[in-house]
Amino acid sequence: MISITKKIEFEAAHRISNYPGSCSEIHGHTYKLEVTVSGEINPETDMVMDFKNLKEILQKTVIAHFDHTLILKKSTENQTIFSSYLGKITWMESEPTAEQMLVWMVSSITPRLPSGVSLQKLKLHETSGSFATWKNIKG
């Protein structure tokens, strides 16, 4: 089994509305995401997966959903506060923490992977020193 990793970046703002500190205010990040997939090397292509194809999947899922958006928990409070906001809002069922964003990414990326290729690891950096990681424990 061989693994490959693709790194992407996106810009977004969010607020953690139930946070007892400054993160309850709107603030932005340059998110850096590392996506690792694994599988057997295809004898026709000599690749597990073409990096270009993985990038396209990430463009259609992560980038299209989160890049240059305000990410908010879909709550009555947030919907009231931001009812007149004219920019792009991405609503989440949970607070938009790095951990919950990873949960969303796993469910969005996994079904788009080709047969025989599995999602192994996601690492989402909010800052240069803070990140969350998801790992496939099933293999």
Active site residue 44: no
Catalytic residue among 11, 68, 77, 99: 68
Question: What digits encode the pLDDT tens for the residues 72-114?
Answer: 999 999 999 999 999 999 999 999 999 999 999 999 999 999 9
126 and 31 Cβ atoms separated by less than 8 Å = yes
The one-character DSSP state at 42 is: B
Query: What range does the domain containing 38 cover?
Result: 2-135
Confidence of residue 61 (pLDDT cuts 50, 70, 90): very high
Phi-psi region of 43 (alpha: psi -120 to 50; beta: other; left: phi over 0): alpha
Cα angle 47-53-55, degrees, rounded to a multiple of 5: 115
68 is catalytic: yes
Distance separating alpha carbons of residues 70 and 25, to the nearest angstrom:
12
The two structure tokens encoding residue 13: 């703002």
Q: Does the annotation count 99 as an active-site position? A: no
Q: For the chain, give the number of residues.
A: 139
Sign of the C-alpha dihedral computed for residues 98, 103, 109 and 110 taken in this order: positive
Specify the number of domains making up the chain: 1
Distances (CA, A) of 5 to 8, 43, 135: 10, 20, 13
The CATH code of the domain that includes 87 is 3.30.479.10
Which residues lie closer than 8 Å to 131 by C-beta, 6 or more apart? 32, 98, 123, 124, 125
Strand partners, 72: 91
Query: Can you tell me which residue has the tokens 């920019």?
Result: 87
Which pLDDT tens digit goes with each residue over 5-44?
Answer: 999 999 999 999 999 999 999 999 999 999 999 999 999 9
For tokens 């890049």, name the residue: 67
| pLDDT on residue 139 | 62
